[in-house]
Amino acid sequence: MNDLDEWIDCWKCGGEAWHHDCGEDVCCCADPEPNVMCDICLGYGGWYERGIRTVEADLGPPAMAPVSGPEEV
Protein backbone atom coordinates (compact mmCIF):
# COMPACT_ATOMS: atom_id res chain seq x y z
CA MET A 1 0.00 0.00 0.00
CA ASN A 2 1.25 3.49 -0.76
CA ASP A 3 -0.04 7.06 -0.72
CA LEU A 4 -1.69 6.57 -4.13
CA ASP A 5 -3.97 3.76 -2.90
CA GLU A 6 -7.54 4.73 -2.06
CA TRP A 7 -10.03 2.77 0.06
CA ILE A 8 -13.23 1.97 -1.86
CA ASP A 9 -16.32 0.83 0.08
CA CYS A 10 -17.96 -2.31 -1.27
CA TRP A 11 -20.84 -1.52 -3.63
CA LYS A 12 -22.98 -4.36 -2.26
CA CYS A 13 -22.66 -4.02 1.51
CA GLY A 14 -21.72 -0.33 1.62
CA GLY A 15 -18.70 -1.04 3.81
CA GLU A 16 -20.63 -2.95 6.48
CA ALA A 17 -19.06 -6.31 5.45
CA TRP A 18 -21.80 -8.41 7.12
CA HIS A 19 -25.60 -8.32 7.03
CA HIS A 20 -28.50 -10.01 8.79
CA ASP A 21 -30.46 -12.79 7.12
CA CYS A 22 -32.80 -14.87 9.27
CA GLY A 23 -34.35 -16.67 6.31
CA GLU A 24 -37.74 -14.97 6.60
CA ASP A 25 -39.22 -12.80 3.84
CA VAL A 26 -40.10 -10.15 6.41
CA CYS A 27 -37.64 -10.03 9.33
CA CYS A 28 -39.29 -9.65 12.73
CA CYS A 29 -36.13 -10.15 14.80
CA ALA A 30 -36.04 -7.82 17.81
CA ASP A 31 -32.26 -7.35 17.64
CA PRO A 32 -30.97 -8.55 14.26
CA GLU A 33 -27.27 -9.41 14.36
CA PRO A 34 -25.12 -9.57 11.25
CA ASN A 35 -24.71 -13.27 10.43
CA VAL A 36 -23.93 -13.37 6.69
CA MET A 37 -20.61 -12.24 5.20
CA CYS A 38 -20.72 -10.12 2.05
CA ASP A 39 -19.84 -12.31 -0.93
CA ILE A 40 -18.32 -9.42 -2.92
CA CYS A 41 -15.75 -8.03 -0.44
CA LEU A 42 -15.47 -11.26 1.60
CA GLY A 43 -16.13 -9.48 4.89
CA TYR A 44 -13.54 -6.70 4.45
CA GLY A 45 -16.04 -3.94 3.69
CA GLY A 46 -14.17 -2.81 0.58
CA TRP A 47 -10.76 -2.83 -1.02
CA TYR A 48 -7.82 -0.62 -1.90
CA GLU A 49 -7.76 0.69 -5.45
CA ARG A 50 -4.50 1.75 -6.99
CA GLY A 51 -4.26 5.39 -8.01
CA ILE A 52 -2.89 6.65 -11.28
CA ARG A 53 0.84 6.16 -11.33
CA THR A 54 3.47 7.90 -13.35
CA VAL A 55 6.82 6.66 -14.57
CA GLU A 56 8.54 9.29 -12.42
CA ALA A 57 6.74 8.05 -9.28
CA ASP A 58 7.72 4.44 -10.00
CA LEU A 59 11.37 5.20 -10.76
CA GLY A 60 12.02 7.55 -7.87
CA PRO A 61 15.13 9.76 -7.78
CA PRO A 62 17.93 8.91 -10.21
CA ALA A 63 20.47 6.47 -8.82
CA MET A 64 24.20 7.11 -8.87
CA ALA A 65 26.28 4.79 -10.98
CA PRO A 66 28.88 2.84 -8.99
CA VAL A 67 32.32 4.38 -9.18
CA SER A 68 35.08 1.95 -10.01
CA GLY A 69 38.75 2.43 -9.40
CA PRO A 70 41.51 2.19 -11.98
CA GLU A 71 41.66 -1.13 -13.78
CA GLU A 72 44.64 -3.36 -13.22
CA VAL A 73 46.59 -4.50 -16.23
CB atoms within 10 A of CB 41: 19
The model's pLDDT over 53-63, given as tens digits with 9 standing for 90+, comes to: 555 555 555 55
The answer to whether position 24 is within a domain reads: yes
> How many structural domains compose the chain?
1
H/E run at residue 10: none
The model's pLDDT over 10-50, given as tens digits with 9 standing for 90+, comes to: 998 888 888 888 888 888 888 888 888 999 999 999 998 87
31 or 3, which is more confident: 31
Query: What pLDDT score was predicted for residue 25?
Result: 81
Residue 5 clears pLDDT 70, i.e. is over it: yes
The answer to whether position 33 is within a domain reads: yes
The answer to whether position 23 is within a domain reads: yes
Triad 49, 51, 52: Cα angle to 5°: 140
CB atoms within 10 A of CB 9: 14
CA distances 22 to 7, 13, 45, 49, 59, Å, are 30, 17, 21, 33, 52
Query: Where in the sequence is the domain holding 6, given as residue range(s)?
Result: 1-54
The answer to whether position 25 is within a domain reads: yes
The answer to pTM > 0.75 is no
